[in-house]
Amino acid sequence: MRLGSLTLSVLCAVLLFPALLAAQNADLRGAWQVESYVLVDGARHQVDGLMLFSESDWAVVYFVKDEAGQPRRGAGEGGPYTRDGDQLVLLRDYLVIASETIGTLPEIPLRFDIPGVTDQVVEECRLEVDGDRIMIEFPSGNRMGFRRSSGP
């Protein structure tokens, strides 16, 4: 019985390894529609937006909505990025953000970050790839989910 279990385990590993490797190396280039925003405290927010990846740069614009579906937080961010398997490092050079308080999300006064005026922000994130969907877990523990809308 042990040999059968071992054989089954090895067979599963051999069959699943290519899929896992493909997911780790999936091409991010293109456009990704924002589908979910879950805070580290478990709070879920309605969100709408788009994230773009080129070969070396990223940009995102998103809006967090209140219970009535009205946008109460808006942000645009971007800069270069690097990726190594499930490690995604977003280097943020550009940011514009403003927000009212939405649940546990605090108010944020209108803010602009640009190179030469503010320091670059480095966000070392974890990336999960599942076909045409990705999930980015930010250093804060907050997670955003996306569905591919165009690209390779």
Domain ranges in the chain are 27-150
Helix (H, G, I), strand (E, B) or coil at 10: helix
The span from the CA of 88 to the CA of 128, in Å, is 10
Predicted local confidence at residue 17, as pLDDT: 45
Predicted local confidence at residue 9, as pLDDT: 52
Provide the residue count of the chain.
152
pLDDT mean values, one per 10 residues, the chain (152 residues): 53 46 74 97 96 98 96 98 97 98 94 97 97 97 97 81
The span from the CA of 70 to the CA of 146, in Å, is 20
* CATH class in words for 27-150: mainly beta
Evaluate whether 92 touches 123 at the Cβ level (below 8 Å).
yes
Q: Which of 111, 118, 75 is nearest to 93 (CA)?
A: 118
The span from the CA of 27 to the CA of 123, in Å, is 20
